[in-house]
Amino acid sequence: MKAAMIFPGQGSQYVGMGKDLVEKFPAVADVYREADDMLHYPLSRLCFQGDPEVLTQTRNAQPAILLHSIAVLGILRDEAGAEPAITAGHSLGEYSALVAAGVLSPMDALRIVRRRGELMFDAGHRQPGTMAAVIGMTREDVEAVCREATTGDAIVVVANVNSPMQIVISGHIDAVGRAMELAGSRGAKKTIQLNVSGAFHSPLVEPAQRELVEFLGQFTFKEPAVGLVCNVDAKVIRDTEAIVNALSRQLTNPVLWSDSMQVLTGGWKGRIMEVGPGTVLSGLMKRTDRSRPVEACGTAEQLEHLIAVEVEPA
């Protein structure tokens, strides 16, 4: 069974994530155990029963989400015979997509993502910033607001194009605040400040990006078995050099998710699965292309239902 597989990013974490997978699918326990051993850190305990505030920290949320996605991917492959036809992942989720495409091993991806989360967490302390969602305005209008709210010493930029009318902005705290006020006065239905530790996908995290690029050089990237729709260009890439180049630009460039999903649905007419915790990407797809439903595959209940349907005798 082939499907487009899309993988969630930061913000989809929750305490208890993965616990039901371990209880229903015993092989998953080995994945979490290996991750704990490799990281020298009880990530599984944090996922299953940790403090929500600690789990939400960028340095913890990112490996937790990746690990959950990897576990779900293994269940889909082993129990339902599912394989990706094309992959994509939202920001952090791009690393999960690379595991699905055979570019990175699960534990190498986890090492990278743990370091990525640490670097982004530290960048937020060195250069304080924030992010906010603007609902009900086009990307062009939000970009205009960002230009007006930016001053010589405080910038705000578009960080995520999640759907045609859901845009996330990122930058210095004062500049983001000005942009939120301007957006509200110019017809935005809502502006929401996000609970994040830094101005991700903006120039403020450039030091983290430089260190991450250096860290990526320690790992072996294999040729992908399937295409990946990358965040920074919203294009299908199929070779290692292009993948590393895209990852090297990802932290300071906007996540073109809506554009990426238009590329994915334009080239793939089959089923689409959200592989990992939550249903954020399923919701965004409804705002981008309502004709293409997404199957959420994040809980044991959802997976058991899918498996039962797939293995049902003809």
Q: Note the pLDDT of residue 310.
A: 78
The series of mean pLDDT values per 10 residues for the chain, 314 residues long, is: 96 95 95 95 95 94 97 96 97 98 97 95 92 97 98 95 97 97 96 92 95 95 96 96 94 97 95 96 93 94 91 54
DSSP structure class, residue 251: T
Among candidate residues 197, 222, 248, the one where a domain is terminated: 197
Q: Note the pLDDT of residue 309.
A: 84
Joined together, the tokens standing for residue 19 give 């616990």
* Strand 294-297, strand 130-135: pairing: unpaired
Shared domain for 43 and 65, answered yes or no, is: yes
Shared domain for 79 and 103, answered yes or no, is: yes
Shared domain for 188 and 291, answered yes or no, is: no
Q: At what angle do helices 257-267 and 280-288 cross, to 10 degrees?
A: 70
The catalytically annotated residue of 90, 96, 201, 258 is 201
Shared domain for 102 and 209, answered yes or no, is: yes
Instruction: Bin 229: left if φ > 0, else alpha if -120 < ψ < 50, else beta.
Output: beta
Shared domain for 116 and 177, answered yes or no, is: no
Shared domain for 110 and 225, answered yes or no, is: yes
Give the type of residue at 28.
V
Which residue range forms the structural domain that includes residue 148?
129-197
CATH (domain of 305): 3.40.366.10
pLDDT, tens digit (0-9, with 9 covering 90-100), for 158-203: 999 999 999 999 999 999 999 999 999 999 999 999 988 899 999 9
CA angle 130, 131, 136 (to 5 degrees): 155
Shared domain for 184 and 250, answered yes or no, is: no
Shared domain for 33 and 71, answered yes or no, is: yes
Shared domain for 112 and 241, answered yes or no, is: yes
Shared domain for 183 and 76, answered yes or no, is: no
Q: Is 44 a catalytic residue?
A: no
Shared domain for 53 and 26, answered yes or no, is: yes
CATH (domain of 173): 3.30.70.250
Shared domain for 158 and 305, answered yes or no, is: no
Q: Note the pLDDT of residue 314.
A: 45
Share of the chain above pLDDT 90, in %: 93
Q: How far is CA 301 from CA 70, 199, 251, 304, 308, in A?
A: 17, 36, 34, 5, 11
Joined together, the tokens standing for residue 57 give 């920290």
276 in Cβ contact with 68 (< 8 Å): yes
Question: How many domains is the chain built from?
Answer: 2
Residue length of the chain: 314
The catalytically annotated residue of 12, 69, 91, 170 is 91
Q: At what angle do helices 206-216 and 240-250 cross, to 10 degrees?
A: 150
Among residues 86, 3, 17, the alpha carbon closest in space to that of 278 is found at: 17
Give the type of residue at 131.
M
Q: Is 260 a catalytic residue?
A: no
